[in-house]
Structures are given as C-alpha cells and as structure tokens.
Chain A
Amino acid sequence: MIRLNLQKENTICQIVELEGSNKFISKITAMGLTNGTMIEVVQNDKKSPVLLFARDTMIAVSKEEAKKIIVKEVL
C-alpha cells in the first residue's frame, strides 16, 4: 500500500483508504473516487499534480491531496 502521490505512472491501482477532512472527502468522492475505486495513474511528474483516470474520467489531484489517498497496485 502506498500514498497516491508516490505511486508510479502507468499503473493501475485500487483505492484502499481516504483520509482527511469532511470537505476533502465530499469533494473527492463526488469526483468518483471512493473506497475500492480502480484508478489508472496516467502521469505523476515530480512537481505537477497527479493525473489519473477513474470511472471514465480524467482527474488532476494536487500532490498535497494525493497524499490523503491510499492505494494498492493491482497491475
């Protein structure tokens, strides 16, 4: 298990846990990311937000917010 900000690009992961304030949880879940959601990490450059693809949607999540998403690699 790893925090999303550290996850390598071009991998497929599953969300295990979401941490953070109610506001963060509301926002991230409304974008389609919740427990068990499968995500494809499309791009994860050092200084840019993480680009991921989940539920047919491409989403950018800043590194700070990505820290609160814990994933496990499945592929």
Chain B
Amino acid sequence: MESVAVVGPVKIGLAGQPNTGKSTLFNRLTGARQHVGNWPGKTVEQKSGIFHFNHKKYSLVDLPGTYSLTANSAEELIARDFIISDKVDMIITMVDTSQLERSMYLLSEMVGMNVPVIAVLNMIDIAKEQGKLINIEKLQEKLGIPIVPMVAAKGEGVENLLGKIKTIEENQKILHTDVLFKIYEDVFKEELNDLIKILPDEGIGNCSSNWISARLLENDRQIVEIVKENVTKEQWEVIHHIIKRNIDGPLKAANCRYAWIESVLDGVLTKKEGYALKRIGFDKLSTHRIFGKPIAILMMLAGFIASMAIAMPFMIGIGSILPLICLNLRNILLNKTGSYWIASLVTEAVIPSVSMALLMGIFIAGVVFVFGFMEDIGYMARVAYVFDATMSKIGLHGKSIMPFVTSFGCNMAGITGSRVIDSWKQRLLTITTSMVVPCASMWGVIGLVGSLFFGVNAIWVIVALLICSIFHVIFTSWIFRTKFIKEEEGTGLIMELPPYHKPNWKGIFLHVWSKMKDVMKKAFVVIVGVSVTIWALSYTSDGNIENSPIYAIGKTVEPVAALLGLDWRLFIALIVSIMSKEGALGVLSMLFGVGTGISSFSGIMISGAVEFDQSALSTVMLESISKASALAFMFAYYFNIPCMAAIVSVNAETHSLKWTIKIVSYYMVSALFIGGIVYRIGTIIF
C-alpha cells in the first residue's frame, strides 16, 4: 500500500464492540472538539472529532459499537463499509481485555481487509485482577499489528497509542492472514479455493479475495451483491452455485474465527485457574424475578425526579424574574417606541420563548445526565432484562420501558431517554410510541374540561382515554414497525449485561454538554419561530380575537373542523396547544372571550399571563359546545403531538427532519381522526 497522503488530516476510524470503552477513548482523544450528526443518508448517529499530536491534525470517527461486521443491521453495515472504504487511513480496534476471547471477534473479522489496524487492549487492569496475564510482545508478533495495553478510564496508554499511530503512518501494518486463512481452508475446503480462484487476485477494493470468499460462503447479502457487480455472468453462475451448495456458512465461519482467536492466544494469555463469575448483591436484586421490576420503576421515577431537581432552581429563578423583566421591558418599550405591538411581540413572544428554550436545554441536560449515568454504570441492561418479556410483546426493546415511565412526567424526558437503546430502529420506534404516553401537564385541562361536561363521569372518560392509549401504543408500534421503519424480522433478546463499573464522569459531562448545546440551538429556532408565528396570527391591539388572522383561519376551516365534531375555537385551541399543553385553557378563555390581560396566544402559552374567570369560561363553553364535541376535543387533545419542545427533542434525537415531520404528522392526523370517531360515538351516546 502507498503511504498515507499528507494532505488533510489523517483519518482514523475507531471500532470496537459495545462496552469496550470506545467512547471513553474517543472523549480522551478529542475532548470537546466533537461533532455529532448522522451517517450520510442514515438515521444512525455519527460522532466524529479531531485531535492534534506532534503538530499534526488527525480526524477520528467513532464507528457504531457492534459485536460483529455482518450485513445484519444498519450499524454493522455502516461500520464495515467505513472500514473497507477509501475514506480511512487506519483503524483503531478496541478490545476488552477482561473478556478477551469474545472481544477479539471483531478483530478476527478484519483479518483479510487491507487496512492498517492498531489493537487497543483496554481494561488491562481488570484483566490483571482476574488473574489474566498477556504477553504483549508475542501477541504483536502473532497478529502483525501494533498492540497498545490501556486503561482508557484513567488515560493510561493513550500516549503509547499516539506513538503507535505515528509509527503506523510511516510503516503500515495489516493483520497477518495466514493462520485464519488456513483454518478457513480446512473447514470450507475446495469451496473456498474455488471461489478464490474465480475472484480477482487483488481482491475487490480493500478486501482480499480470501476475505470475500469466506463472506460469500456465509451468504452475506451485501458482499454477494458487490461480487455480482465485479465478475462476469459466467463467473457469477459458478459462484452462485457454490454459495447455494454450502450450508451452515455463518456457523462454520464463526467457529473458524474463534479457532483463530484460540490459536492466537495460545502461549500469549495465561489465566489463573478458578476464576469465576462474581455477582454483587445489587446485581442479583436488579435481575430478581420479583423485585427486579419494582426496583427498575423506582429507579426511573427517582431518575426523573433527579433530573427535575437539576432543572428546578433554574425554572424557579427564571420563572420568578421573567414576569418582572417582561413588565418593565413592556413599559420601557411602550414609552420609547409608543408602539403597542412591538411591546407585545417582545414581551409575549420573544423573551418568554427564549427563556423557554433555555429551560428546555437545562431540563434535557438533567435527563441526559441522570439516565446517561444509569447507562454508563451498566444498570440499563438489567432494566432491559427484567422488562424484555413485557415490552417485546408490543415489538419494543426492554430498555424502552424507561422512556415510557418518564414520559408520564414529561415526553421530552422520554424522547431524550430513548438514547440508551442501541439500535436506531428500536430507538426510533421507542421515540414514536412513547409519545402516546400522557405527560403530567395535560391532566389539568383534561380534568377541567372533563368535570365541566361530564361531572363525576369524567373518571370514565379518563379510563377510556387510558384504555385507548394502550391500543394506540400497540397500533403505533405495529404500523411504524411494519410500514415506516420496516424492521426486518429481528431476533429476540440477545444482550450482554456488562459488569457494573464506576461512572466515567468526563464522558457523561461531555455528553450532557453536547446534547444541551444541540437541543438549545434547535429549541431557539423552533420555539421562537413557532411562538412568533402564533403571536403574529393571534395578535390584536384591542384584545378582541375577532380582529386577528387566526379568527379568519378558524372560520375558514370551520366546515372541516365541524366534520370532526370540533367548533372552530376548539380546533384552534387544539392546534395552538402544540406550543404547550397546559396553555390550552388560557387559549380557550381568549377564544371564548373571557380572558384578559394579554394580546396574543403566544403570551398565554409561554408565560401563562392571562387572567380569566373560570366560572365565566365554564358557562360560555357549556352554552356553546355539545357533550359530543367536548369529548372529541378531549380525545384529540390527549392524543395530539405532546408539544413543540417534544418536537425539538425528536429532531435532536433523530438528527433527521424527515423523521420529525413523519412523526409529527402521524400524531396530528391520528389525533384528529380519533377525535372524529369519538365525536360520532358521542353523538350516539348523548
């Protein structure tokens, strides 16, 4: 291979199985110089960063943490494509020394790829405690690549790694292939040799013909496609025939790789006899048949309360000074400009929404911190274990219980919390379905409207809402799984329960910081944008709603809204309540002409500064709205998209505008649809 070009930074890919300390090393090397986005054209998150060493710039890409490099999941394909692409100059592969044999599997899959590799043996300290001794020199010799022993959490070995990176730039080393290829040959026999003969001698791209042949015998669909494009029709027919004849390819290949690992470790690894699994008391409790679930629920609730507690001082602080600032500023603006609308725009839309975006960022930081901590120490895998049987019934991962529980407090927390789930398809599914869960702030409106129209029977309405929620979750999960996310026939739970370990504070805080920045940036755009739009639509200089554009819009859509059983005011309240669920009452009071003290909806929504007489609102609403209409409104309101902050969270988590729009439209349309059906049922009942 030619040596690395000197133009631009040296590009390094960081590979490794989950829980090998990949992120810890990534954070150590790049610090805060990180960028989080999605892999081009994919919804899988990509983290990249830069670092400098010896006045030279290096770019580091964190590859998805996967156990293998097959074509079975989007994450594995991304990692593999990146490794064999021309975009990378070298790969650093993390190996967990405390689980050496299993953890080397990823490395075994790289044998035969023409890419320079450095292997990092992380957690060498834990391996030592377990009585494992590794002869690094000998391992280096057997593998043919540089080996770096490391304790990433303490930063031990990082200097050594940087030195090795420098060496490999000058003298590229790829993994020795002879031992594994010999094993492949012994197992696959002439089938392998026949394939190698047909394939181009130099292989295809960065993959040797031997590597490709083994993959073909595993029936790897992506490699099959690549080969098909690179050989003649006649050659392909022979290849196709060999692949079809071969059975048990994946199992044989895996056996070969473990045989290779054993042979590599022979004489390299010495183990102390009698090492056995040690489980701490809490681990037994957290996976206990009876106590596991209640403990998990308690941890979730405690986690939610802890995240609230982090944000609370800021909420109280901003909450108490905001009205004062707005009031004073309003007076100043009125005096200076004499323009009522400028004062209204600034104090009812801009300032409250900016502070709302700020608070949202702080709250999200709390959530990311608390649940990031639980994930980091290894607890979340236990939660997934105890809830797997329950959640898998509706096609969800055991870990998705966490977003569901926290969504009862706030959907933002649920959406953000979904990041503890590793596969993006499962994560997207959890984000989508957890939004059915009613958050704490909508119960005020549901309770008030319910008791106003149905008295004590409101309780039955609430029961009906909750029962519908269960069906909604099941339906939403089903439709997204089969129609939109198109999850292929997956396998049931097969998951590592990593040993509990001390939290990596630096990693957690870096994560919190980057998430908070991202959310705030997005929140400023969306929340200020929506607030100003709603302000512009609902602003009136005299407080009479009939003089606002939103009135005209409401009147225009009235025939459509009527189909759904909604009076135009209820319809507008429903749409505007996307700004914030609890603000719906204030909007209703303005729409029904009983609210005073503010001149636009955005003011009500984000500062809650409207004053209204509840009994007056009750009287007007009872006079002008039928029971069936009220019921339709409650259902549509309850099942509508939670709020604009939740929309921001969806976008921040998926990094995808397309998915955000899909999910938001799904909820808005389905809420109206449900409202329409409930209205029809209501007209029969009442």
A residues whose Cβ falls under 8 Å from a Cβ of B: 18, 21-32, 34-35, 37, 40, 42-43, 45-49, 51, 53-65
**Is B411's beta carbon under 8 Å from chain A?**
no
**Are A60 and B255 in contact (CB-based, < 8 A)?**
no
14 pairs from A and B in contact (CB 8 Å cutoff): A22-B249, A24-B491, A30-B105, A32-B105, A34-B254, A37-B258, A40-B276, A48-B389, A49-B385, A49-B493, A51-B385, A59-B495, A62-B388, A63-B389
Cβ–Cβ contact B254 & A59, under 8 A? no
Which of B102, B279, B389 is in CB contact (< 8 Å) with A47?
Answer: B389
> B72 contacts A27, CB within 8 Å?
yes
- Most B CB contacts (10 A, CB to CB) among A21, A26, A51, A65 go to A26
What CA separation (Å) do A24 and B490 show in the bound complex? 8
- B70-112 contacts to A, CB under 8 A, are 70, 72, 98-102, 105
With CB as the reference atom, state the residue of chain B lying closest to A59. Answer: B496
Q: For the complex, is B219 an interface residue (Cβ under 8 Å from A)?
A: yes
**Given A34-B254, A48-B389, does the pair A62, B249 have CB atoms closer than 8 Å?**
no
A30-B497 contact given A48-B388, A56-B100, CB 8 Å threshold: no
| Closest partner residue, chain A, to B249 (CB atom) | A22
Q: B52 → chain A, closest Cβ, in Å?
A: 35
Residue of B nearest to A19 (CB): B251
Q: Shortest Cβ distance from B420 into chain A, in angstroms?
A: 15
A65 and B99 within 8 A (CB): no
User: In chain B between 469 and 506, which residues have their CB closer than 8 angstroms to a CB of chain A?
Assistant: 489-499
**Are A49 and B101 in contact, CB atoms less than 8 angstroms apart?**
no
The reply to whether B277 and A42 form a contact with Cβ atoms under 8 Å apart is yes
Asked if residues B251 and A60 are in contact (CB atoms below 8 Å), the reply is no
Q: With A18-B251, A26-B70, A65-B491 in contact, do A53 and B388 touch (Cβ < 8 Å)? A: no
Number of interface residues of B (CB under 8 A): 43
Q: Is the pair B491, A23 in contact by a Cβ cutoff of 8 Å? A: yes
Residues from chain B with Cβ under 8 Å of A53 in the complex: 277
Known contacts A37-B258, A43-B287, A49-B389, then 8 further A-B pairs from the complex at CB < 8 Å, ordered by chain A residue: A23-B72, A32-B105, A34-B251, A47-B289, A51-B497, A60-B384, A60-B497, A62-B493
Binary contact track B115-159/A, C-beta < 8 Å → 1, others 0: 000000000000000100000000000000000000000000000
Q: Is the CB of B491 within 8 A of A30?
A: no
Contact between chains at A26 and B496 (CB < 8 Å): no
Q: In the assembled complex, which residues on chain A have CB atoms less than 8 Å from the CB atom of B381?
A: 60
Closest chain B residue, CB of each to CB of A67: B492
Query: By the criterion CB–CB under 8 Å, are B218 and A22 in contact?
Result: yes
| B105 and A59 within 8 A (CB) | no
Residues of A within 8 A of B496 (CB): 31, 57-60
Contact A57 B258, CB 8 Å, known A22-B249, A29-B250, A49-B389: no
Among residues of B, the one whose C-beta sits closest to the C-beta of A35 is: B255
Q: Which residue of A lies closest to B275 (CB)?
A: A56
Whether the Cβ atoms of B101 and A56 lie closer than 8 Å is: yes
Answer whether residue B386 sits at the interface, using C-beta atoms and an 8 A cutoff. yes
Tell me if B68 counts as interface (CB < 8 A to partner A). yes
- Nearest residue (CB) in B for A45 is B289
Q: State the CA gap A24–B492 with chains docked (Å).
A: 9
Q: Which residues of B contact A46 (CB under 8 A)?
A: 289
Cβ A25 vs Cβ B251 within 8 A: yes
Of the listed residues B101, B218, B255, B494, the one surrounded by the most CB atoms of chain A closer than 10 A to its CB is: B494
CA gap between A23 and B489 in the complex, in Å: 9
Question: Which chain B residue lies CB-closest to A46?
Answer: B289
CB contacts (< 8 Å) of B547 on chain A: these are none
Q: Are the C-beta atoms of A48 and B289 separated by less than 8 Å? A: yes
B53 sits at the interface (CB 8 A)? no
Q: Please determine whether A48 and B67 come into contact, CB atoms closer than 8 angstroms.
A: no
Which residue of the partner chain, among B102, B250, B279, B388, contacts A32 with CB atoms under 8 Å? B102
A45 to B290: give the CA distance in the assembly, Å: 10
The one of B72, B385, B389, B498 in contact with A26, judged by C-beta atoms closer than 8 angstroms, is B72
Please give, as numbers and ranges, the residues of chain B lying within 8 Å of A49 by CB-CB distance. Answer: 385, 388-389, 493
Binary CB contact string for chain B from 366 to 398 against chain A (1 if under 8 A, 0 otherwise)? 000000000000000100111011001000000
Asked if A31 contacts B385 (CB within 8 A), the reply is no
The CA of A43 and the CA of B279, in the complex, are separated in Å by 12
Cα–Cα, bound, A28→B384 (Å): 18
Q: What's the least CB distance linking B104 to chain A, in Å?
A: 10
> A residues within 8 A CB of B100?
56
Chain A residue numbers with a CB within 8 Å of B130 are 56
In angstroms, how far is the closest chain A Cβ from the Cβ of B76? 9
Determine how close the nearest CB of chain A comes to the CB of B246; give it in whole angstroms.
12
Whether the Cβ atoms of A30 and B68 lie closer than 8 Å is: yes
Q: Are B492 and A64 in contact (CB under 8 A)?
A: yes
A42 to B279, CA, bound (A): 10
Indicate which residue in A32, A35, A40, A63 contacts B251 across the interface (CB closer than 8 Å). A35
CB nearest to A54 among chain B residues: B102
Instruction: Tell whether, in the assembled complex, residue B250 and residue A58 are in contact, meaning their CB atoms are under 8 Å apart.
Output: no
Select the residue from A43, A46, A48, A64 with max chain B CB neighbours within 10 A: A48
Pick from A24, A25, A56: contact of B98, CB under 8 Å: A56
Which residues of B, 553-612, contact A by the 8 Å Cβ criterion? none
Decide if A60 touches B70 in the complex (CB within 8 Å): no
Q: Which residues of A contact B255 (CB under 8 A)?
A: 29, 34-35
Pair A57/B99 contact, Cβ less than 8 Å: yes
Please provide the chain B residues from 189 to 244 with a CB less than 8 Å away from any CB of chain A in the complex: 218-219
Task: Please give me the residue from chain B that is nearest to A55 by CB atom.
Answer: B102
Q: Is the CB of A26 within 8 A of B102?
A: no
Assess A40 versus B277: contact at CB under 8 Å? Given A25-B251, A29-B254. yes
